[in-house]
């Protein structure tokens, strides 16, 4: 068993489902101590209990990534409780209904920006000083292929994910000489609960099943399929791994070739 993260403290937001929950399991399998957060408390605790039953060292907390006090308190409690913060994965995010830009409400835009962009900003705002003080650390921000190209019908989401890429590159530049590596991961369509919501919307519009909607969306990807979450999470581990020590300020697409066209 590879144990690249043996004893390392790994913080993951949005850990109750999707990429966050699977990443928690993969990091735990490689020896990490975990600080997991989400606004979905019951689901988060189920994830944590499953990992604890396998011997993982896990703490959990209800955190609203849009609230400065909530994020600041969580980072402080993790760094004080564990005595370190080695890896932070700012993964919490949400989508919105599929609609042209002019049909989105201001509230829909503001919510997408608050969770997907401000949540990453606040995470880094409080994670970076802890890592600077230690002289080392890795931050991985989960953006999206929609943060690299246009994403029709998802304008607010795309705007927020472009902001994540910009925040990542700026923070990486500021911290490259401080021992803190900061990168962004940009997955496209993947079989997660968030993608299920999108597929259901497509299905409602086209009067098709979720499976047929999956196939329709997958047809847009050069590889002809959506990714499995494990393919994305494997990239997460590689980007955070000690041997990947010379990568910073990058936005890496795991997208089946979607952004290549």
Q: Which residues are catalytic?
A: 157
Tokens of 11: 């913080």
Tokens of 120: 């990453």
Question: Is residue 1 classed exposed, middle or buried when 0-12, 13-18 and 19+ CB atoms within 10 A define those classes?
Answer: exposed
Sequential DSSP letters for 138-169? EEEEE--GGGTS--TT-HHHHHHHHHHHHHHH
E strand or H helix that includes residue 78: helix 68-82
- Give CA–CA dist 237/30, Å, rounded: 10
- Give CA–CA dist 43/127, Å, rounded: 25
Q: How far apart are the first and last CA of the chain?
A: 38
- Give CA–CA dist 126/200, Å, rounded: 36
On whether the CB atoms of residues 15 and 41 are closer than 8 A, the answer is no
- Give CA–CA dist 259/261, Å, rounded: 5
């Amino acid at each position: 068993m590879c144990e690249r993260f043996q004893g390392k403290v790994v913080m993951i937001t949005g850990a109750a489902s999707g990429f966050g929950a699977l990443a928690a399991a993969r990091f735990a399998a490689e020896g990490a101590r975990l600080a997991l957060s989400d606004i979905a408390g019951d689901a988060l605790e189920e994830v944590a209990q499953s990992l604890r039953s396998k011997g993982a060292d896990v703490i959990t907390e209800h955190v609203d990534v849009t609230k400065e006090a909530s994020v600041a308190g969580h980072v402080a409690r993790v760094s004080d409780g564990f005595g370190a913060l080695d890896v932070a994965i700012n993964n919490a995010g949400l989508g919105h209904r599929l609609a042209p830009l002019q049909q989105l409400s201001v509230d829909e835009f503001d919510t997408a920006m608050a969770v997907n962009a401000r949540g990453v900003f606040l995470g880094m705002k409080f994670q970076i000083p802890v890592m600077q003080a230690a002289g080392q650390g890795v931050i991985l921000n989960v953006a999206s292929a929609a943060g690299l190209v246009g994403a029709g019908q998802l304008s607010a989401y795309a705007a927020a994910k472009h902001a994540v890429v910009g925040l990542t590159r700026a923070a990486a530049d500021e911290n490259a000489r401080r021992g803190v590596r900061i990168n962004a991961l940009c997955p496209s369509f993947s079989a997660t609960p968030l993608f299920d919501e999108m597929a259901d919307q497509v299905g409602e519009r086209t009067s098709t099943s979720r499976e047929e909607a999956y196939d329709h969306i997958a047809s847009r990807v050069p590889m002809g399929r959506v990714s499995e979450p494990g393919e994305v999470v494997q990239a997460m581990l590689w980007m955070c791994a000690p041997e990947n020590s010379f990568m910073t300020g990058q936005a890496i697409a795991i997208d089946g070739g979607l952004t290549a066209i």
